[in-house]
A and B are shown apart, each in its own frame.
Chain A
Amino acid sequence: MEKLTFQFQTNRAAGGDKTQTIVGVVASGNLEVLLERSQTPGECSFEISTAAHGFGPVWEAVLSDFVGRSPVGGLKISINDGGARPDTVALRLAQAVRLIEEDKA
């Protein structure tokens, strides 16, 4: 397992008022994404635990695009990765941010 952490500044706060949400599963080629509303609104942090070593720069590229594209201010995002491809990571993140902004079920 490799541990990676990233921190981004953003001026777009996450929508909705759910305190947390989770999407995906830990499986080969898949990942689990946990979103928690616990940071200051202008920040978004990532903690990644991944089975695939040596992909730090790709993670940084995927996450920085995601932060640029989606309202994620005030989120702490934890990822359990089973070696998912970047396209799967990007999709799961987009799904997670949509889930936390949805009305409480």
Chain B
Amino acid sequence: MSEPIVSVRNLVVEFPLRRGLFTAVNGVSFDIMPGEILGVVGESGAGKSMTGSAIIGLIDRPGRIASGEVYLSGQRIDNLPPDEMAKLRGKRIGMVFQDPLTSLNPLYTIGEQLIETIRRHLPMNEAQARQRAIDLLAEAGIPSPETRIDSYPHQFSGGMRQRVVIALALSAEPDLIIADEPTSALDVSVQAQIIRVLKQLCESRGAAVMLVTHDMGVIAETATRMIVMNKGKIVETGSVGDIIKRPQEEYTINLINSIPSIKDETRRHDVPPAATPLVQVKNLTRDFDLSPGMLDRMLKGSKRTVVKAVQDVSFNIRKGSTYGLVGESGSGKSTCARMLVGLIKPTNGQVLLEGDDIWAGGSGTQQRRQRVQMIFQDPYASLNPRWRVGDIIAEPMRALKLVANKREAEERVADLLEKVRLDPISMRKFPHEFSGGQRQRIAIARALSSQPEFIVCDEPTSALDVSVQAQVLDLMRSLQDEYGLTYLLISHNLAVVRQMADDVGVMSKGVLVEQGQVDDIFDNPQAEYTQMLLNAVPDISKVN
């Protein structure tokens, strides 16, 4: 057995905060062998990113390594003076961050940034370094690197930028790469490519990888061994297959169970397929005019640029069912949602609510306000931080004049809070006193408060940890059964849609490419785009 590249022993990272000491990492020990890909998984606050930062010596103030040791190929590095540590970074440990849009300095060309890094670590002159940079870019899958090397970061797409970041991290042949959520900011189809590039490059160089992520699917497809972290501690360590298929610890069992998969059977739903549609979307179209100013058009001869965000989209939503709308960023699914609730006016087409056009004004608008509600993605932004929870939930009732007096409103609010499994006393508190999942439940209570029939849910669980996601989805389902609600569920997460929806529509570049019953689409996709999407998505079922 060869020597591990990295050994972490009893690592403790502490943040002295005003209300006492916060221990972000609490006694973590593990090894990474040469050429191994170690997945580190956990929910937010598990300390997984902090462990990575501790190894490379980049913990944000006021955090510090309180005790424990980190060895790099047998040499202790956690107590090195800052200058020595700086020399190790990039040379022997490389790092890839989550957001490729912000990882590169916008004022320098990618070539300048690559050459600067290469020459810092390797004894090369400008020309040699440039050649090496071009080779690296080619390996990372950047087409025509000889010319692209002189481009600025903003001239690349997100996925391309992440390739550049990986090339940068590998430029001095480090022994270890720490990849902190390297694909979380990317679309599913790009995500798969980046994982492949990362895996290939590290394999060909024999570099070990510490892959930090919240996405079990990514780990399942990439890593060989994994550790599960929770609240700063390691819960379980083992091979990826073992942990996903036969988790031992209770925490891991619950975690694995709450992760939806695209292979899960849809729940049985008793909506007759021929039920009358509650919502009919007819030829919905929305253009955004992104034309430059008049002067520019005159001087540069640039033409009007109109982005067709949504083109001619039609679908029906059966009463009491859930319609899932999936697609990558920029596919127009959110624009669709906003047209359905009255936030964005369609350029063309109709949205009919039991026959009434909600955009026709008059009674249609009134109908819409009363019967349509929305749940948003970010539970931190969807509740006014200056309002008490009671007022937030009562707002629709007040706006629509559904309650006669304060007492009645309070009773309704207390009722709703119980329905979403929160203590009625919560109505006196402010949103910041709640966790993300609790806030999302408050948002659901608000949506229910005007007793709507149709609720548009725009990525309702994307900002939540998987275990919380499971609770919120479960709540949504039981509320649907209780009130006979109809949902439009917008999500980029195919597994969630499979779990929740009865019918599904797939959008790409503003067009609805395919729609049908959820099992048909997932098990037997017709459109090429849908097939690509289903293949690309990292899923827990894809563990080898």
Q: Do A and B come from one complex?
A: no
